[in-house]
Amino acid sequence: MTEASIQGQNAKGDGLLPLTILGGFLGAGKSSWLRHQLHQGLLRDQHIIVNEAAGTPVDNLLLGKATRLTVLAGGCACCEGLTTLIATLRDICDQASGQDAGKTTGILLETSGLADPGVIASAIAADPILARRLRLSEIIVLADAQHGTSQLMEEPLARAQAETADRIIMTKTASAPPDQTARLLATLRLLNPGARIEAAELGIPRDLPEPGQPYALPAARADTPDAPIRPFRLTIGGASRDDDVLGWVALSTWLSALLFARGKDVIRVKGVVRTPAGRLLLQSVRHVMQPPEILPEIMPETFAGPQPEEGVIVLIGRNFDAGLIAQSWARFGG
């Protein structure tokens, strides 16, 4: 997204507030992409809404440069959290034409990795108030070059997200095999011929390869026999028993073992943990643990959104018993 494109969103003169929906499957890199846009100052006049299916918000930690930020946690915006989203959008529209008149030039909704952007767009269009106040400017969907192929093969939601997009941004191309990236690009073009496809690494644009041979995707299923993907909140107590170092070693060892054994079922892990090095942001996608990121200490007067909870991690996945995982950590790290 460029400054020119953002200005173009608001140049129609129809009096409607433009809305951009940012989607993509779990771990696609939505917050990293959005973080870079904010760092570049491209969204400084946008009201950012971050939706997290889990009750413990984490992504707002990465979006400190947002001028206006609202966090919707504890329900996906296309289902359990839809009513709250509609109410929030109405409030922002009221503010944009009232106390913030002229200050907010648009809204960007970062959906959870479990959201179908098409369902959200349809719900907004069907709302009698928002239909007169908002204009859907663009649906951007991020596709993970490392895991995107398996997601399209196995997850109907990932395919629905890609099919809905006006623009698809391929992420993590630097760490994916070039042939895999080329074939995924061709598959996405076949899946959504009308979408513009780009590539970005941590929000920075990259060149796309020449498309390869598209993958043969299985027929789309009308049903969804797989167990639903659900978030699970695990309190790990700050990763520190009496000894911070031992607590951090225990947590990292336990997480590595969990992802090795259940990496297909535990799709996403994220959370904030206090360690000897400071506050660490932990994230994983499938069995791949991303390098922990040291976070700055929070200044409450400048922090947007609810304060994050330290010592809590969120596991998002299917086919696992939340109670057994809690018992496993209690035995290992207690």
pLDDT, tens only, 34-86: 888 888 878 878 898 988 876 555 555 555 555 688 888 878 889 889 999 99
pLDDT, tens only, 226-253: 677 788 888 876 544 444 555 677 888 8
Higher confidence at residue 262 or residue 6?
262
pLDDT, tens only, 110-154: 998 889 999 999 999 999 999 999 999 999 999 999 999 999 998
Higher confidence at residue 75 or residue 167?
167
Average pLDDT rounded to a whole number, residues 310-327: 82
- pLDDT for residue 232: 82
The pair of three-digit structure tokens given for residue 269, joined into one six-digit string: 């892990």
Place 3 in a pLDDT band, splitting at 50, 70 and 90: very low
Residue 276 confidence (pLDDT) above 80: no
Query: Do β-strands 230-235 and 266-275 pair in parallel, antiparallel, or remain unpaired?
Result: unpaired
| Nearest alpha carbon to residue 92 among 70, 110, 119 | 70
Place 333 in a pLDDT band, splitting at 50, 70 and 90: low
Place 181 in a pLDDT band, splitting at 50, 70 and 90: very high
Higher confidence at residue 1 or residue 314?
314
Residue 281 confidence (pLDDT) above 70: yes
Question: What is the rounded CA–CA span in Å between residue 154 and residue 215?
Answer: 13
Question: What is the rounded CA–CA span in Å between residue 210 and residue 326?
Answer: 46
- pLDDT for residue 2: 47
Decide: 318 and 226 in contact? Cβ < 8 Å.
yes
- pLDDT for residue 273: 79
Average pLDDT rounded to a whole number, residues 191-213: 92
Higher confidence at residue 265 or residue 101?
265
Domains and CATH numbers, the chain: 3-206 (3.40.50.300), 230-333 (3.30.1220.10)
Average pLDDT rounded to a whole number, residues 29-37: 87
Average pLDDT rounded to a whole number, residues 299-312: 60
Higher confidence at residue 96 or residue 305?
96
Place 6 in a pLDDT band, splitting at 50, 70 and 90: very low
User: Which segment, 188-202, 241-255, 288-302, 316-330, is predicted with the most confidence on average?
Assistant: 188-202
Residue 199 confidence (pLDDT) above 60: yes
pLDDT over 90 percentage in the chain: 37
Residue 177 confidence (pLDDT) above 60: yes
Query: Do β-strands 167-171 and 196-201 pair in parallel, antiparallel, or remain unpaired?
Result: parallel
- pLDDT for residue 65: 58
- pLDDT for residue 221: 60
